[in-house]
Amino acid sequence: MRSSRSTSTRRSMRNAAVRVASMLSPRNRNHFKTFDTDETSAVISKPIVVAFSGIVPSDGVKKFIFDHGGDIMDSTDGVKNLPSITHLIVRSDDLKPRRIKFLVALCVIPENIVSYEWIERSEQSNALLPLDAFRINTNVNAETEYKFCLQHSISNAVTAL
């Protein structure tokens, strides 16, 4: 049986994500939904703004992002700036769906929640790789613990945008 504190925490995290998402006008939401890419070279035409959840990026990864005109959203930047991220990078083996970064990303950029492997391989190839093979769309441990379906949640978020 779950404690009332965990239920309260879940409610407050969900409410925070809803508040952040509601700050975005429909016009702004569409701005974050898609990123123009050239599939052959996988060059993203807009600068990327990456947030990491549960991961500390290596110096090489940081340098790669900055060298490609991107930026890293630090946790000290605050929740109000989270809607400006273009990619959320998470540990695929340790997804924490209660984290505010994940909840906001689910509302704003559901198709751009990717594993750390994406940015590592992009760094190795010195180019931003397509996201398809690196999207996080399932996590059995988190789905069992929190009783939800990540793939269904992402599908609903994409439809809502």
Helix/strand/coil percent split, the chain, to 5: 55, 10, 35
Q: The whole model's pTM is what?
A: 0.66
Percent of the chain at pLDDT > 70 equals 66
In angstroms, the CA 116 to CA 87 distance is 11
Phi, psi (degrees; rounded to nearest 5) at 114: -130, 165
Tens of pLDDT, residue by residue over 119-136, are 999 999 999 999 999 998
In angstroms, the CA 2 to CA 21 distance is 28
Number of C-alpha atoms within 13 angstroms, CB side, residue 41?
Answer: 6
